[in-house]
Amino acid sequence: MILLEQAKYVVRAADRVEQDVDVLIDGSRISRIGSIDRRTLPEDTIVVSCRGRAVIPGLINAHTHLYQSLLKGRRDDLPLVEWCERVTFPFVRAVLDRAWRAGDTEIGAMWSALATIEMLRGGITTFVDMDMNLDGVIRTWLELGIRGVAAMTMVDQWVPPEMMLSPEATREETLSLIETWHRVPSPDPLITVFLGPSAPFTCSPALLRWITDQAKRFDLGIQIHVSETAWEVDHSLETTGMTPLDYLASEGLLERPVTAVHAVHLTEEEIQLAADRDVVIVHNPKSNMKLGSGIAPIGAMRSAGIPVALGTDGAASNDLLDLFEEMRTAALLQKVATEDPTALGACDVFRFATEFGALACRIDAGRLDEGKLADCVVIDLGGAHLFRLTDEIVPALVYCAKTSDVETVIVNGRIVVRDRVLQTGDERTLLNEIKRVGNRYV
Amino acid sequence: MILLEQAKYVVRAADRVEQDVDVLIDGSRISRIGSIDRRTLPEDTIVVSCRGRAVIPGLINAHTHLYQSLLKGRRDDLPLVEWCERVTFPFVRAVLDRAWRAGDTEIGAMWSALATIEMLRGGITTFVDMDMNLDGVIRTWLELGIRGVAAMTMVDQWVPPEMMLSPEATREETLSLIETWHRVPSPDPLITVFLGPSAPFTCSPALLRWITDQAKRFDLGIQIHVSETAWEVDHSLETTGMTPLDYLASEGLLERPVTAVHAVHLTEEEIQLAADRDVVIVHNPKSNMKLGSGIAPIGAMRSAGIPVALGTDGAASNDLLDLFEEMRTAALLQKVATEDPTALGACDVFRFATEFGALACRIDAGRLDEGKLADCVVIDLGGAHLFRLTDEIVPALVYCAKTSDVETVIVNGRIVVRDRVLQTGDERTLLNEIKRVGNRYV
ipTM here: 0.97
Q: 3-state DSSP helix/strand/coil percent for chain A, to nearest 5?
A: 45, 25, 35
| Whether residue A263 sits in one domain with residue A377 | no
pLDDT digits (tens, 9 = 90+) for A129-182: 998 767 789 999 999 999 999 999 999 999 888 788 888 988 998 999 999 898
Q: Are residues A6 and A93 in the same domain?
A: no
A44 and A93 in a single domain? The answer is: no
Beta-bridge mates of residue B26: B29
Higher pLDDT, A384 or B131: A384
Of B333, B361, B389, the one marking the end of a domain is: B361
Same domain, A400 and A345: no
B154 in the same domain as B189? yes
CATH code at position B13:
2.30.40.10
Find the DSSP H helices in B197-319.
Answer: 205-218, 230-240, 244-250, 268-276, 285-290, 298-303
Q: Are residues A22 and A76 in the same domain?
A: no
Quick one: which H or E segment has residue B63? strand B59-64
Task: Extract long-range pairs of A9-12: CB within 8 Å, 24+ residues apart.
Answer: A9/A53, A9/A54, A9/A55, A9/A391, A9/A393, A10/A54, A10/A55, A10/A368, A11/A54, A11/A55, A11/A56, A11/A57, A11/A350, A11/A368, A11/A393, A11/A394, A11/A397, A12/A57, A12/A367, A12/A368, A12/A369
Residue B135 pLDDT exceeds 80: no
In the predicted model, is pLDDT for residue B184 greater than 70?
no
Flag whether B152 is in a domain: yes
> Would the pLDDT of A184 be above 70?
no
pLDDT tens-digit readout, B282-307: 999 999 999 999 999 999 999 999 99
Using DSSP's 3-state secondary structure scheme, residue A61 falls into strand
Residue A318 is given by DSSP the state T
Helix or strand (DSSP H, E) at B222: strand B221-226
Q: Which domain holds residue B35?
A: 2-57+375-427
Give a yes or no: residue B272 inside a domain.
yes
Q: From CA B285, how far away is CA A231, in angstroms rounded?
A: 27
pLDDT band at A89 (very low <50, low <70, confident <90, very high): confident
Using CB atoms, which residue from A341, A392, A403 is nearest to B74? Answer: A392
What's the farthest any 2 CA atoms get from each other in chain A?
Answer: 69
Do residue B291 and residue B173 come from a single domain?
A: yes
User: Who's near B160: CB < 8 A, 6+ residues apart?
Assistant: B89
Residue B101 is predicted with a pLDDT of 76
Q: Are residues A43 and A69 in the same domain?
A: no
Interface contact flag, B399 A318, Cβ < 8 Å: yes
- Chain B hits for A230, CB-CB cut-off 8 Å, are 339
pLDDT tens, A53-75? 999 999 999 999 999 999 987 77
Q: What is the DSSP string of A220-265?
A: -EEEEEES-SHHHHHHHHHHHSS-HHHHHHHTTGGGS-EEEEE-TT
pLDDT in tens, A383-417: 999 999 999 999 999 999 999 999 999 999 999 99
- Residue of A87, A385, A424 to mutate when probing chain B, most B C-beta within 10 A: A385
The answer to whether the beta carbons of residues B27 and B91 sit under 8 Å apart is no
Query: What is the model's pLDDT at position A103?
Result: 77
Contacts of B375 (CB under 8 A, 6+ apart): B57, B58, B125, B126, B147, B365, B410, B411, B412
Kindly determine whether residue A294 and residue B396, on different chains, have CB atoms separated by under 8 Å.
no
Q: Provide the shortest C-alpha distance from residue B434 to chain A (in Å).
A: 9
Distance CA A142, CA A148 (A): 9
A286·B343 Cβ contact <8 A: no
Question: pLDDT tens, A286-320?
Answer: 999 999 999 999 999 999 999 999 999 999 989 99
Q: What is the CATH number of the domain that holds A74?
A: 3.20.20.140
Kindly give the pairing relationship between strand A414-418 and strand A421-422: antiparallel
**Does position B124 have pLDDT exceeding 80, yes or no?**
yes
What is the distance between the alpha carbons of residues B137 and B7, in angstroms, rounded to a whole number?
A: 35
Strand partners, B260: B224, B281
Residue where a domain stops, chosen among B361, B383, B415? B361
- Smallest CA-to-CA distance from B414 within B46, B40, B18 is with B46
The last residue of one of the domains, among B312, B328, B361, is B361
Identity of the amino acid at A435 = K
Residue B211 located in a structural domain: yes
Residue B68 distance to chain A (closest CA, Å): 11
Residue A339 lies in a domain: yes
Core vs surface per residue B264-282: b (16+ CB within 10 A) or e: bbbeeebbebbbebebbbb
B323 and B266, same structural domain?
yes
* Average pLDDT score, chain B: 94
Q: Which residues in chain A are closer than 8 Å to B442, comparing Cβ atoms?
A: 389-390
CA A50 to chain centre: 26
CA distance B44 to A193: 62
The alpha carbon of residue B192 is apart from the nearest alpha carbon of chain A, in Å, by 25
Same domain, B144 and B224: yes
Q: How far is the alpha carbon of B69 from chain A, nearest alpha carbon, in Å?
A: 8
Name the pTM for this structure.
0.97
Looking at residues A421-434, what average pLDDT do you find? 97
Express as a percent the part of chain A with pLDDT over 90. 83
Beta strands in B277-405 (DSSP E): 280-283, 308-310, 376-380
Helices (H) and strands (E) in chain B, counts: 16, 17
A185 pLDDT exceeds 70?
A: no
Q: pLDDT at position A70, please?
A: 93
Is B382 a member of any domain?
Answer: yes
Residues A356 and A419 placed together within one structural domain of the fold: no
Average pLDDT over residues B418-437: 97
- Work out how many domains chain B is built from and give that number: 2
Tell me which chain B residues have a C-beta less than 8 angstroms from the C-beta of A75.
392, 395
In a domain, A439, yes or no: no
- Same domain? For B225 and B347 the reply is yes
Q: Return the H-helix or E-strand segment holding A308.
A: strand A308-310
Q: Kindly state whether residue B437 falls inside one of the protein's structural domains.
A: no
| Whether A336 and B332 lie within 8 Å, measured CB to CB | no
Residue of A nearest to B335 (CA): A292
Task: With respect to residue B368, please indicate whether it lies within any of the assigned structural domains.
Answer: no
